[in-house]
Amino acid sequence: MSVRIEQGDWLDLAPSLAPASIDFLYADPPFNTGKTQRTPPNAARAGRNARAQYADRFGSTADFVRFLRDRLFATLPALKPSANIAIHVDWRTSHHVRLLLDDLLGPDRFVNHLIWTYGLGGSSPRCFARKHDDIIVYCLDPRRAHFVPPRVPATSRRLAGLTKKATDVLDIPALNNMARERTGYPTQKPLALLELLISAFCPPAGTVLDPVLGSGTTLVAAQNARRHAVGFDINPRAVSIARVRLLPPTGTAPKGGDRPESPGD
Ligand SMILES: C[S@@+](CC[C@H](N)C(=O)[O-])C[C@H]1O[C@@H](n2cnc3c(N)ncnc32)[C@H](O)[C@@H]1O
């Protein structure tokens, strides 16, 4: 399976993609938190990854939406007619992303609003604790879009040991401090989440694109699931972590060990 990684802006690199070559576009962009996302302090032990960081600031929500719109628009020619698009965001922008995709593709292209519930993180005295991210999924053509319902362990006692079809609520733990796959890159997502999404939305031997690859989770998951993969990131640190990560077949981190954190950006 081939893997291509490029350092640069998604907007500049999108035209380098072959027309109608991508089966599944997954993007986990900065969430517009207004912060600089840094490797957590305890991850300094992670050695070469200790300084990984990126700016998560767009000025306004309108600027964030424009950032995403321009890049998605530039990527549309690279998608196959059967392709799916999944945009991973949170409560700050998921409603805007839904409207953006309605506008770009049409409301009838909506597939799912997936909830990734992960458990970790703090709580608030002012509202229910925010413990999920939103993954907004659209397709290009509802009659041709690829979908294979993934199976997850059944939770009822009656079905103990069996599996059931996954629902639109994906209960997958965030990476904890013992996770071997942890790289130290901030906002790294778990391989289990990406493997599930890829198995559902990308056909076997198809091609996955992650134009904001971060630590390269999507590319490792694609490799594990025997799909081709293409990844871009503007941050040279992300690109070097992803390249190292893709060397061993298991995709585990080159070094690991830090505290649990909220995966939300
Ligand atoms: C939330 S992180 C991705 C984390 C990734 N899913 C993982 O599991 O490690 C978002 C990434 O977007 C990258 N990024 C921000 N603006 C970009 C742009 N214009 N083009 C490409 N990458 C960009 C950042 O450098 C950062 O690595």
Give the DSSP letter of residue 92.
Answer: T
CA distance 189 to 31: 13
**Gyration radius of the chain over CA positions:** 18
Domains and CATH numbers, the chain: 3-245 (3.40.50.150)
191: left (phi over 0), alpha (psi -120 to 50) or beta: alpha
Q: Who's near 137: CB < 8 A, 6+ residues apart?
A: 84, 85, 86, 87, 110, 111, 112, 113, 114, 201
Atom of ligand 1 nearest to the CA of 265: 1
Q: How far does the centroid of ligand 1 lie from the alpha carbon of residue 167, in Å?
A: 27
Can you give the pLDDT at residue 179? 85
Q: What does the pLDDT average to over 28-38? A: 84
Average pLDDT rounded to a whole number, residues 21-44: 83
The residue whose CB lies within 8 Å of the most ligand 1 atoms, and thus the one to mutate among 6, 13, 54, is 54
Between strands 53-56 and 35-38, the pairing is: antiparallel
Tell me the per-residue pLDDT of 16-30, one tens digit each, with 9 for 90 and over.
999 999 999 999 999
* 58 Cβ closer than 6 Å to some ligand 1 atom: no
Q: For residue 155, with 0-12 CB atoms within 10 Å meaning exposed, 13-18 middle and 19 or more buried, which class applies? A: exposed
N- to C-terminal Cα separation, the chain: 30
What is the arithmetic mean of pLDDT over 50-79? 89
**Residue with the two structure tokens 């035209």:** 15
Dump pLDDT digits (tens) for 222-235: 999 999 999 999 99
Choose the residue to mutate in 224, 233, 246, 252 for probing ligand 1, maximizing ligand atoms within 8 Å of C-beta. Answer: 233
3-class SS of residue 153: strand
Q: How far apart, in Å, are the Cα atoms of 113 and each of 92, 116, 134?
A: 15, 10, 7
Distance 163 CA to ligand 1 centre (A): 33
- Report how far residue 178's alpha carbon sits from residue 257's, in angstroms, rounded to the nearest whole number: 6
In ligand 1, the atom with minimum distance to the C-alpha of 242 is 9
Ligand 1, atom 4: nearest CA belongs to which residue? 214
Q: Residue range 145-149: average pLDDT?
A: 97
Q: What is the rounded CA–CA span in Å between residue 203 and residue 82?
A: 10
* Mean of pLDDT values over 107-124: 91
Task: Please check whether residue 88 is in contact with residue 30, taking contact to mean a CB–CB distance below 8 angstroms.
Answer: no
Give the pLDDT score at 159. 85
pLDDT for 51 equals 64
- Do 102 and 133 form a contact (C-beta atoms < 8 A)? no
- Phi-psi map region of 77: left, alpha, beta (phi>0 left; psi -120 to 50 alpha): alpha
Average pLDDT over residues 104-109: 98
Residues 127-136: pLDDT tens digits? 999 999 999 9
Average pLDDT, integer, range 1-23: 97
Q: Looking at per-residue confidence, does 34 or 203 come out higher?
A: 203
- Cβ(263) – ligand 1 distance below 6 Å: no
Which residue lies with its CA nearest to atom 5 of ligand 1? Answer: 214
Decide whether any atom of ligand 1 lies within 6 Å of the 212 Cβ. yes
CA of 157 to the centre of ligand 1 (A): 40
